[in-house]
Structure 1
Amino acid sequence: MAEPTIPDASRLAGWRASSYSGSDAGSCVEVVDAHPAGVPVRDSKVPDGPALVFPAPGWTAFVTAVRSGALGG
């Protein structure tokens, strides 16, 4: 099942950079906390582009897997 999208992510307030993002203005994922539909996620280089909205439990599981190194890479 496809996740819902927000066509223009710049319409949402409260974006914050991922704690894994560097300070060199490179690739960065931004999220909005406490959004009623789930966790909106966007590419910081395209602030007026779309955002994917993930169910909160799914996003939490993803972040946990990244932190633990379970996704490899």
Structure 2
Amino acid sequence: MQDEFWVVGGRYRDTSFTDLADGGAEAYGPFARYDEAHRSWSDRSNGSRSLASVRYSIVVTASRAHAA
């Protein structure tokens, strides 16, 4: 299997970052390489720097398309 990288997150209800606000969920990807996902994460994080309740993370999943 080949790993896939995703940037996920968005606007949360508050700064505890436990519950996404209505319509706040966002996902970008998949990216084949971590550095591509990191670039996307960095762009989104820097663009929302002034918004305290917005957070993004990079997650990795195994691609089913490449499973034997």
**TM-score in same-fold range (> 0.5):** no
- Higher-Rg structure is 2
Q: Which has the higher strand share?
A: 2
**What TM-score do you get using the length of structure 1 for normalisation?**
0.28
Q: Which has the higher contact order (CA 8 A, sep 6+)?
A: 2
